[in-house]
Homo-oligomer: A and B are copies of this chain.
């Protein structure tokens, strides 16, 4: 993006808390969907794809590149993230895309609008994920597919074992639960899809890993995890719920910074993945 032409375009800078989120692409976060997407594209290159909870839009934009004759719609509950998503698309030179505000519980689209409806790390944070999947199925065409990928936070493994990092894990799981989410989302995805009314024969379940193993990956990871410990709404919520003190959070942030510089350090986690054929 040409900054000279857009002196007020603040959202072209990634929000600090999004450093981690913006490493996500369709290629690294929707691998279970890619073969099906390719098959659908061969039948109809003008696919329409909905990315629910699109956030900074990096996954949506990579989907748009994969279906250049198709169209991607990104929806997020938070209207403040939409300018950043539009900037990400513009920087990538992608035009077959739009972003709008909307809730996963009440998507602003008619029945059977999209060929592919996708979400990533959304169901883990909400109280009634089966209702969300039901709504995703509603807006999907017959012959189309609903896909979701959600972390299983209880499988997170961090090395070396450091008490502050273990306390951070518990803090995040507590915050997730306090918000109505489920830290064991990954292993529950199939159960939720059945509760949403899908037949078992329509559903494919798989698991994949996500990890930070190299010094540069660890540095990005630590930045992304330190930021909410040192400021922002997550920290405020944790303080409000009595889940820790300012001193605790600073110790955790320091431990992540030390971890990033530790030669044998790594972090890995399982993700559950489903495809629901409609």
* A266 at interface by CB-CB < 8 Å: yes
Cross-chain contact B158 with A187 (CB below 8 angstroms) = yes
A270 in complex: contacting residue of B157, B200, B214, CB < 8 Å: B157
How many copies of this protein are present in the complex? 2
Given A205-B213, A206-B211, A264-B194, A157:B155 Cβ within 8 A: yes
Does more than half of chain A's interface fall in helix, strand or loop, or is it mixed? strand
How does the 8 Å CB contact mask read for A142-158 relative to B, with 1 for contact and 0 for none?
Answer: 00000000001011011
Number of residues from A at the complex interface, CB < 8 A: 30
* A268 at interface by CB-CB < 8 Å: yes
Cross-chain contact A213 with B187 (CB below 8 angstroms) = no
B-chain residues with CB within 8 Å of residue A211 when the two chains form the complex: 205-207
Cross-chain contact A272 with B268 (CB below 8 angstroms) = yes
A42 to chain B, nearest CB (A): 25
Cross-chain contact B155 with A187 (CB below 8 angstroms) = no
Give Cα A209 to B270, complex, Å.
7
B-chain residues with CB within 8 Å of residue A272 when the two chains form the complex: 268
Cross-chain contact B157 with A266 (CB below 8 angstroms) = no
* A208 at interface by CB-CB < 8 Å: yes
Cross-chain contact B159 with A188 (CB below 8 angstroms) = yes
Give Cα A213 to B193, complex, Å.
14
Interface residues of A in 225-278 (CB under 8 A from B): 263-264, 266, 268-270, 272
Give Cα A90 to B184, complex, Å.
44
Cross-chain contact A155 with B270 (CB below 8 angstroms) = yes
Known contacts A157-B184, A158-B187, A159-B187; 10 additional CB pairs below 8 A are A157-B186, A160-B191, A187-B268, A190-B213, A194-B263, A205-B211, A205-B266, A207-B268, A209-B209, A269-B270
21 A–B contact pairs at CB < 8 A? A152-B268, A155-B155, A155-B157, A159-B187, A159-B190, A186-B268, A187-B266, A187-B268, A190-B213, A190-B266, A191-B264, A205-B214, A205-B266, A207-B211, A207-B213, A207-B266, A208-B208, A208-B209, A268-B270, A269-B270, A270-B270
